Each structure stands twice: as C-alpha cells, then as structure tokens.
Amino acid sequence: MKQLDSISSLYEIYQLHPQVQTDTRKLQKGDLYFALKGPSFNGNEFAIKALEIGAAYSIVDEPIQANAALLERIILVEDVLTSLQGLAKFHREQFNIPFIAITGSNGKTTTKELVAAVLSSHYITYTTQGNLNNHIGVPLTLLSVKKDAQFAIIEMGANHLNEIESYCTYTLPTHGLINNCGKAHLEGFGGEEGVKKGKGELFDYLKQNHGIAFINSDLDYLVSMSKGIVNIISYGSSSGELQGKEAKQEGGLLQVTITKTANNFLQNKTIQTQLVGAYNLPNVLAAISIGLAFNVPAEKIIAAIENYAPTNSRSQLISWKQNQVILDAYNANPSSMKVAVENFALINHSSKILCLGGMRELGNSSQAEHQALIEIIKDHPFEKVVLVGKEFENCQHPFHYFETTLAAKAWLDHQNFSGHYFLIKGSRGIQMEKLIAKG
C-alpha cells in the first residue's frame, strides 16, 4: 500500500488517470476509485473489487488486506473525502478561466442548464452533470474539467449553514449567481433568514475575492445581500441592465420579450422557450445576461435558449393518455409550490387537475406550510386536486388524499381522464412521476 505525502503527489497520478469514480458500478478501466464512507456504506470494502474491475488505483483510508500486486495499486490517505476535495482544489488551481458558481432555493439546476447551453454554443464549457451539487458532486465536477476548458459552471446545493462556504474554498469561483432564497431546507437552515445567510456565503466569498456577481435586481434581498461586491451585473423584469418580460405562454410554454438591453440585436426580440411557467423568466434572463457578459453572439444566445428542453421531471411538458402534463416532480418547497400552483391557475384550460406530493425537510414548519399550501389551492377552481404523502395527513381540506404515490396512481388509472391538463409536483422522495408511469 502506498502512502502519499502530499496532494501534489496524488495529482501526478490523477494526471495519468483523469477519470474519477466513487461507485464501483460505474467504474471504467483506468479510473481512479475513491473509497468514500457514509452512514450506511464503506467504500473501503470495495477497494479490491474496484481494482479487479479495472481501476488504476483505489484510494482508501483504512488498511486493506491484499496480495502484493494489488497493494501496489492501493493508496492510503488520512481521509478519502478530504483528499478528493483537496485534489479537486489542486486541479482547479491549474486554470485561469471563469468558474461560475450557481446556487439558490428554486430553479438553480434549470438556470445552470440554460447558462451551460448559452456558453457552450460559443465556448468549450464544462458543467455540473445532473444534480451533482453536494460535497461529493462538486469536487467530482471540478475533476471532470479538462485542460481545453474555456468556462466551468458549478452548481452548488446546500441544506445547512457553512456548506456553500466550504464549496467555495476549493471551487474558487470567479463569478457567482444566487437565483433566489425561498422556503427550502428550513429544517437544516433554521428558517428563511438562515436560507439567506447560507446561500449568501457565495456572495461573501465574491466580496472577499474581488469576484463578479450576477444579480436579479427585482429581488430586494439579493440587492442587499450583494452589497460590498464591486462588480455586479444586474437583470430583472422591471430593473437591471438587462430586462425582459413574459410575452405569453404558448401552449403552456414561456415566451420572453427583451425590453431593455445594450445589445441592439436582442432589443424587443421574443424568445420562445420550451420551459413551463413565468417563474422561469428570471432563469432565462440570467442565462442571457451571462451570455452577453462573455460576448456570446446574440443569435447564438437565442438559439441556445430556444433549443433547451428540460429533462428529468423538471418542468417538462409532456403528453399522457390524451392529456397534457406539466411534470415537475424533481423537487418542491413552499416557495416553488406556490409559484407553480399560481402559474398553473393562469393557464387557459377548462379541465385542470392538480396533483401535489408532500414537501420534505421542513422540520417543525411542515404542518403549517402544507396547510398554507392548501389555502392557496382553495383560491383556484381546479377540477380536481390530489394530495399525496403523509405530510398532508393531518391537514384540513376537501380534496382527494392518498398516503402513497402507488395508491394515488391506482385511483388515477381508474379515472380515464382525457383532454385534461395536469400539474404533477412534489419533493423527490415522494416520486410523483410514478403517477403516470406505465404499469
């Protein structure tokens, strides 16, 4: 077993084997395997298996018993996670390009995807894949950035204080964007002010390191949080250097008209997106603002946004059994639920059915927030409302209620709805997409 004396020594090995994996099921020949540990798993136990599959080296933090040949390919470190993050930082330090960090309560993944679409239309751009935005995903994303990179976009998720701060220590962002600070992960942050403080750790880093912030200047609290950052680029629906408004929702899809910009080509242009809901307007404006800041040609910006189609149950507009469905089952919190319900209410359709799953990680606020959501729903004349999950169990309401998605699906399958418009939304753990799954 090898014991390395520094991260730079590990980096020399990484340069020869620049593919990093933490899951043996995804290993490819020549990868580096980092044996991470968690509450219910110990990657060290799979170190030998990783080598047998084809890993070049296994990085472990526990002694491993093996034959001499295998031991030559095992690297012992003090802590695997710390080493992974340290390696990511060392790799990040080799670049002198913009690293754009994106965080927020609602819409950060959609914003990240839109920004990536815009920048990659003109530059070699690397970005967070899926939602690899935590203490493991962020370093893995950094280590996926290749030498030819001209831009890197790093999504940062957080559910407690000091998390974004820790990511900044090895991501070293040059630019940053906070979408918004809503009622998400209240259990970990301890309330809305905690959310602002936690997300604001990105702005704190930019202040201290002369970074550049992109600000939705319609949100007063973001303007306040960004005070002290010298370089700010603003956008919004009614304020900012770039401004745009919702033109209309054609078939439920958002159209954006640019009302103020220094770019003559974009002025008064209307962009047809494949996104559902006016709540995506700030996400689109953020992507346009970043594209303009980095001199992406305006025609490429428009094409990139118009061609971007959401996936993975994130505000997808799909067909199901002669019905139209807005499938937004990847995440939910009180803030995103409110805007989703209100947007759905504005869609011009005679037969609308609302299917909502419970919201997780709300702590002591859970019952009150679910009841508040019900009161919002009552203000709108939906044909039917279906509530799913134990989070709604003790709430007062006149709607259909099911404890599980499976039970709700059994009911839904017997209704033979046709020509209806559905909104299906809920926290990831509720798996509301199963409502319209086959079988």
Q: What is the pLDDT of residue 184?
A: 63
Q: Which of 271, 286, 307 is where one domain is finished?
A: 307
Q: What is the pLDDT of residue 43?
A: 96
Please report, for the domain that includes residue 59, its CATH number: 3.40.1390.10
Q: What is the pLDDT of residue 315?
A: 78
Average pLDDT of the chain? Answer: 93
- 99 and 151 in one domain? yes
Q: What is the pLDDT of residue 314?
A: 76
- 400 and 326 in one domain? yes
Q: Which of 252, 275, 307 is where one domain is finished?
A: 307
Q: Which of 307, 327, 360 is where one domain is finished?
A: 307
- 188 and 337 in one domain? no
Domain count, the chain: 3
Question: Looking at this protein, which amino acid is placed at residue 328?
Answer: D
Q: What is the pLDDT of residue 123?
A: 98
pTM score, whole prediction: 0.88
Q: Decide if 87 is inside a domain.
A: no
Q: What are 208's two structure tokens? A: 């201290």
Q: What is the pLDDT of residue 182?
A: 75
Q: What is the pLDDT of residue 5?
A: 79
Q: Decide if 367 is inside a domain.
A: yes
- 52 and 157 in one domain? no
Q: What are the φ and ψ backbone dihedral angles of 100, each rounded to 5 degrees?
A: -100, 115
Residues of the chain with pLDDT under 70: 183-188, 248-251, 313, 439
Domain span including residue 64 = 2-78
Please give the share of the chain, as a percent, with pLDDT higher than 70.
97
What are the tens digits of pLDDT across the range 268-326?
Answer: 999 999 998 888 999 999 999 999 999 999 999 999 999 999 877 677 889 999 999 99
- 210 and 320 in one domain? no
Q: Decide if 263 is inside a domain.
A: yes
Q: What is the pLDDT of residue 247?
A: 87
- 245 and 102 in one domain? yes
Q: Decide if 86 is inside a domain.
A: no
Q: Decide if 89 is inside a domain.
A: no
Q: What is the pLDDT of residue 409?
A: 96
